[in-house]
Amino acid sequence: MSELYQHRARKRFGQNFLHDAGVIHRILRAIHARPGEHLLEIGPGQGALTEGLLGSGARLDVIELDQDLVPLLKMRFGLDPNFNLHQGDALKFDFSSLAGGEDKLRVVGNLPYNISTPLIFHLLEHAGVIADMHFMLQKEVVERLAAEPGGGDWGRLSIMVQYHCRVEHLFNVGPGAFNPPPKVDSAIVRLVPHAVLPHPAKDHRLLERVVREAFNQRRKTLRNTLKQLLPAAAIEAAGVDGGLRPEQLDLAAFVRLADQLALQTSPE
């Protein structure tokens, strides 16, 4: 088994391998995988979480980008009939291909910090086939995911993820839990896609557009940041004060602005 741990973490893959047994146990307890469930682990690395996930009796698919880790993972877990390995890039992976009928995926991952945000957005495109997600992320990213309106952490990431999911910041993890230790604190987050969207937009792509434009210059007022999309009268018609800054608006207000844009862009 010692051969497994001779693999050196690669900076280009953003690798920081989890090794703290107490943290691993706490994460596995939070996930609470059960026999018969279908799990997907993104970036299993050296298998710190993989072993416990398989031990639950759940079916487990894993996606690993680093080709050098593939033979190590196959040697360690390949004989388990519940284990299925995909070598490739999670950012390009079709998660819907793993889901069948009522069999929703539970997604798990110690995500490289350099791809965490685009990967979460990619997963949200498949939210309909996902039961929940548990991720290890940079602590400040988790704080942005779980943020509330009015603070500096509230922005595009908070709004678009909370549009699709309930967000729970579970607990923080210090750098010493990893090898090599990262220069930042980490945190575990749980994302649970809404069965019914609390604030459904007429077109969620227009919502993305409004939110992106609004936060492009977050210190400016909405009537300034959105003037290319919505005139002041349209902002007012959405029941929003154009003199506010974007961080002062909640999700429901952004959906009303997006729906107003949908009215303006729909053919007569």
| 33 in Cβ contact with 27 (< 8 Å) | no
Q: With cut-offs at 50, 70 and 90, classify the pLDDT of residue 12.
A: very low
Q: How far apart are CA 44 and CA 51, in angstroms?
A: 10
- CB atoms < 10 A from the CB of 43, how many? 23
Q: Which residue has the higher pLDDT, 100 or 148?
A: 148
Write out the DSSP string of 127-172: GGGEEEEEEEEEHHHHHHHT--TTSTT-SHHHHHHHHHEEEEEEEE
Task: Quote the pTM value.
Answer: 0.91
pLDDT one-digit tens code per residue, 161-202: 999 999 999 999 999 998 888 889 999 999 999 999 999 999
Query: Where, residue-wise, is CATH 3.40.50.150 in the chain?
Result: 2-193
Query: Where, residue-wise, is CATH 1.10.8.100 in the chain?
Result: 204-265
pLDDT one-digit tens code per residue, 99-143: 876 789 999 998 887 889 999 999 999 999 999 999 999 999 999
Output the six-digit token pair for 249: 């608006």
pLDDT of residue 267: 63
User: Is pLDDT of 9 > 50?
Assistant: no
User: Is pLDDT of 10 > 70?
Assistant: no
pLDDT of residue 122: 94
- Domain 2-193 grouped into CATH 3.10.20.30: no
Among the listed residues 129, 230, 103, 211, the one whose alpha carbon sits nearest the alpha carbon of residue 163: 211
pLDDT of residue 4: 39
pLDDT of residue 182: 85
Q: At what angle are helices 156-164 and 204-216 packed, to 10 degrees?
A: 160
Calculate what percentage of the chain has a pLDDT beyond 70. 93
- What fold characterizes domain 204-265? Helicase, Ruva Protein; domain 3 (1.10.8)
